[in-house]
Amino acid sequence: MPSLLRALLPPVTTALALQAAAGLPSIATKSDRIYDLSGSLTFLAVGALSLYMPRIVGPVIPGVISILRGQGPKVLRHADWRQLVLTGAVAIWATRLGSYLFARVLQNGHDSRFDEIKTSPPKFAGAFFGQALWISLCLSPVILLNAVPPAVLSAAVPKLLLTDVLGLTIWAGGFACEVIADRQKSAWMKEKKEKLHDEDFMTRGLFSKSQFPNYFGEITLWTGIATVAAGILARQPVQLALGLSGSAGSILTTTALSYVSPAFAALLLTKVSGIPLSEEKYDKRYGHRKDYQEWKKNTPKLIPRFW
């Protein structure tokens, strides 16, 4: 277990530190503009740290100096392909979503999610702490996989596993769903501003199959990442490399630490900040309308119905 803690502690500490650095000026100025951007940048930083850290940990200072001198790519050449792909998948997702949300908040001038809490320093600080927790838990399968020495993965794990194919397929499907939903929503809002339609709420495209297809996509893509990581972490040599016994209990531990990622994403989006906030807002505005009631009644809340 100490090996697991050594793998998890630096990235988690980094996530907390970066969110504190973003949160302090935001709280002082009561501004929510950089909240989502800081989250995406923290995902990128923590993911990169988890990939580099096991290769520079001893000795630390020479390792850091080698990266500053431009020798960082040498570290990447020794990483296993799964470590590179999962870290890259997170980077692609974080860059895409972060830029999309940052552009949206710049366009709107504010984020309505924080209208009631950004005037309260404790509540606003809680939002940044919650974001650090979200980042740490969602990245847990990537952090653990990156903690495994590449030599162990090369020697003890087949080049391609069923869980690799399954997990990456799930990730690709989830990512595509989130991207398509966001683009459809953006196009709809643009058309509304240009007075090309007078619809008050989105019921087209993927939103005719699910009330929240973007959230479904996000939960799905983290499930894919967890599936790839869990399949590798369950291998006996990998367990031993992480200081575990390889028993059923330790395999259950690494599996749980992998799937805590989509589980926490699902909890956050369905019970805390995603669906509840959006649903409350739209129910207040349109809950009295029959067309809105029919859409809610006939459209699945989360899992799309394509039949």
Inter-CA distances, 206 with 176, 215, 265, Å: 11, 12, 20
CB 157 within 8 A of CB 235: yes
205 Rama class: left (phi>0) / alpha (psi -120 to 50) / beta = left
Q: How many C-beta atoms lie closer than 10 Å to residue 37's C-beta?
A: 17
Place of tokens 């020798």: 71
What's the CA gap between 228 and 254, in Å, rounded?
Answer: 12
Report DSSP state, residue 274: S
Reading the chain (307 residues) residue by residue, the pLDDT tens digits are 557 788 889 999 999 999 999 999 999 999 999 999 999 999 999 999 999 887 665 433 344 344 444 554 555 567 899 999 999 999 999 999 999 999 989 888 888 888 889 999 999 999 999 999 999 999 999 999 999 999 999 998 999 999 999 999 999 999 999 999 999 999 999 999 999 999 999 999 999 999 999 999 999 999 999 999 999 999 999 999 999 988 999 999 999 999 999 999 999 999 998 899 899 989 999 999 999 999 999 999 999 998 7
Nearest by Cα to 264 from 222, 229, 306 = 222
Q: Which of 103, 146, 99, 142 is nearest to 241 (CA)?
A: 146
Q: Could you tell me how far CA 1 lies from the centroid of its own chain?
A: 25
Residues 137, 259: Cα–Cα separation, whole Å: 9
86-124 burial, b at 16+ Cβ within 10 Å, e below that, comes to bbebbbebbeebbebbbeebeeeeebebbeeebeeeeeb
| 225 Cβ contact partners less than 8 Å away, ≥ 6 residues apart | 86, 89, 90, 141, 142, 167, 171, 261
Q: pTM of the prediction?
A: 0.90
pLDDT of residue 80: 92
Give the integer Cα–Cα distance in Å for 91 and 185: 23
CA distances from 75 to 1, 8, 14, 240 (A): 26, 20, 20, 23
* Cα 84 to Cα 305: distance, rounded to the nearest angstrom: 34
Instruction: Give the position of tokens 């830029």.
Output: 99
Q: Which residues of the chain form beta strands (DSSP E)?
A: none
